[in-house]
């Protein structure tokens, strides 16, 4: 059993923000694999089903980015899911837009959603870091992550999302380096 977590903020005006890339991934996963209808549970929107013959839960926390760990902890405690079987999708400023890096554990690098999850379940889980790049100007970082993707970026984001979904079996098998290189070389 696996838990996919997509990080984001649950307001309508946040839908296309860079910070909501995790929500977009969960939506694409739900659509591709025909997971159950999203239901509000565990302070998030929960779906379930099978992905590549593996039972999965997928959730978009409704606790806002900075409190994502509350939702994740409730869900893993209820279903008795090990932290090692949690995979979190989130934006990353330190990775060039369009690039993806998967890793197990590590530091939050200042990402408030990851800091929250670390606080509630520890650091022994996998993360799929989706690059949004740093702002080119001296724009405040919080303004950058809360800004919508532009039209060209939305087209590229669809390709990135498709590549991640097409390579999901590698991720499920926890071959994180192979997953990253496969997604980035499609």
Nearest to 88 by CA among 175, 167, 32, 25: 25
CA separation, residue 22 to residues 15, 26, 28, 136 (Å): 11, 6, 10, 23
- Write out the two tokens for 83: 């932290």
Q: How many CB atoms lie within 10 A of CB 3?
A: 22
Q: From the candidates 19, 90, 111, 144, give the one annotated as an active-site residue.
A: 19
For the stretch 68-71, contacts whose Cβ atoms lie closer than 8 Å and that sit 24 or more positions apart, written own/partner, are 68/5, 68/7, 68/113, 68/116, 68/117, 69/116, 69/117, 69/118, 69/119, 69/120, 69/121, 70/43, 70/116, 70/120, 71/42, 71/43, 71/44
- Write out the two tokens for 26: 């969960």
User: How would you class 183 by CB atoms within 10 Å of its CB: exposed for 0-12, middle for 13-18, buried for 19 or more?
Assistant: buried
Instruction: Specify whether 111 is catalytic.
Output: no
Catalytic residue annotation:
19
């Amino acid at each position: 059993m696996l838990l996919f977590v997509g990080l984001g903020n649950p307001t309508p005006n946040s839908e296309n923000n860079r910070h909501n890339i995790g929500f977009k991934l969960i939506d694409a996963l739900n659509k591709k694999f025909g997971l159950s209808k999203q239901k509000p549970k565990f302070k998030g929107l929960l779906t379930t089903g099978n992905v590549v013959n593996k039972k999965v839960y997928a959730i978009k926390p409704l606790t806002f980015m900075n409190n994502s760990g509350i939702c994740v902890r409730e869900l893993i405690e209820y279903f008795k899911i090990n932290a090692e079987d949690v995979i979190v999708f989130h934006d990353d400023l330190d990775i060039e837009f369009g690039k993806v890096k998967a890793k197990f554990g590590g530091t939050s690098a200042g990402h408030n959603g990851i800091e929250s999850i670390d606080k509630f379940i520890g650091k022994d889980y996998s993360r799929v870091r989706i690059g949004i790049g740093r702002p080119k100007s001296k724009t405040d970082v919080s303004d950058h992550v809360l800004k919508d993707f532009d039209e060209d970026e939305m087209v590229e984001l669809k390709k990135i999302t498709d590549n991640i979904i097409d390579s999901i079996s590698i991720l499920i098998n926890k071959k994180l380096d192979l997953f990253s290189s496969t997604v980035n070389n499609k």
